[in-house]
Chains A and B, each alone.
Chain A
Amino acid sequence: MVNDITTLQRTATQVRRDIVRMVHACQSGHPGGSLGCADFLVALYFHIMNNNPAFSMDGIGEDLFFLSNGHISPVWYSVLARSGYFPVSELATFRQLDSRLQGHPTTHEHLPGVRIASGSLGQGLSVAIGAALAKKLNNDKSIVYTLQGDGELQEGQNWEAFMFAPHNKVDNIIATIDYNGQQIDGPTSKVLSLGNLKAKLEAFDWEVLEMDGNDMDNVISTMALAKSKTGHGVPIAILMKTVMGNGVDYMMGTHKWHGSAPNDAQLAAALAQLEETLGDY
Chain B
Amino acid sequence: MKKYTYTEKKDTRSGFGAGLYEAGQRNPNVVALCADLVGSLKMEAFIKDFPDRFVQVGIAEANMIGIAAGLTIGGKIPFTGTFANFSTGRVYDQIRQSVAYSNKNVKICASHAGLTLGEDGATHQILEDIGLMKMLPGMTVINTCDYNQTKAATLAIAEYEGPVYLRFGRPVVPIFTEADQKFEIGKAWMVNEGADVSIFATGHLVWEAIKAGEMLAEMGIDAEIINIHTIKPLDEAAVLASVAKTRCVVSAEEHNRIGGLGDSIAQLLMKHDPVPMEFVAVNDSFGESGKPDLLMKKYGLDDAHIVKAVQAVLQRK
Contacts and interface: CB of A to CB of B under 8 A. Distances in A.
A160 B67 CA distance: 11
Interface in B54-86: 55, 57-58, 60, 62-76, 78
Contacts of B101: 106-108, 117
Given A130-B67, A157-B62, A157-B63, A64 B52 contact: no
Interface string A5-35: 0000000000000000000000000000000
Interface residues of B, number: 32
A190 B58 CA distance: 32
Contacts, number: 119
A59 B102 CA distance: 16
Nearest to A64: B73
B120 interface: no
Contacts of A119: 97
A117 B97 contact: yes
Contact of B60 (A118, A120, A131, A160): A160
A237 interface: no
A106 B138 CA distance: 15
A199 interface: no
A134 B70 contact: yes
Contacts of B139: none
Nearest to A167: B58
A119 B101 CA distance: 12
Nearest to B75: A58
A44 B63 CA distance: 26
A133 B103 contact: no
Contact of A127 (B52, B70, B103): B70
Interface residues of A, number: 39
A67 to B, nearest CB: 13
A60 B102 CA distance: 19
A66 B72 CA distance: 14
A177 interface: no
Given A64-B73, A133-B55, A135-B74, A164 B93 contact: no
A106 B60 CA distance: 25
A274 interface: no
B98 A163 contact: no
Contacts of A157: 62-63, 66, 94
B261 interface: no
A115 B104 CA distance: 10
A129 B73 CA distance: 11
Contacts of B103: 107-108
A125 B71 CA distance: 12
A161 to B, nearest CB: 5
Which of A59, A122, A130, A163 has most B Cβ within 10 Å?
A130
Contact of A133 (B71, B94, B96): B71
Interface in A58-101: 58-60, 64, 66
Contacts of A118: 97
A133 B70 contact: yes
Interface string B100-131: 01111000000000000000000000000000
A131 B76 CA distance: 9
B73 A117 contact: no
A140 B75 CA distance: 12
Interface of A: 57-60, 64, 66, 106-108, 115-120, 122-135, 137-138, 140, 156-157, 160-161, 163-164, 168
Given A123-B97, A135-B74, 14 more contacts: A58-B74, A116-B104, A117-B98, A117-B102, A119-B97, A123-B94, A125-B66, A126-B67, A129-B70, A130-B68, A130-B69, A134-B76, A137-B31, A160-B58
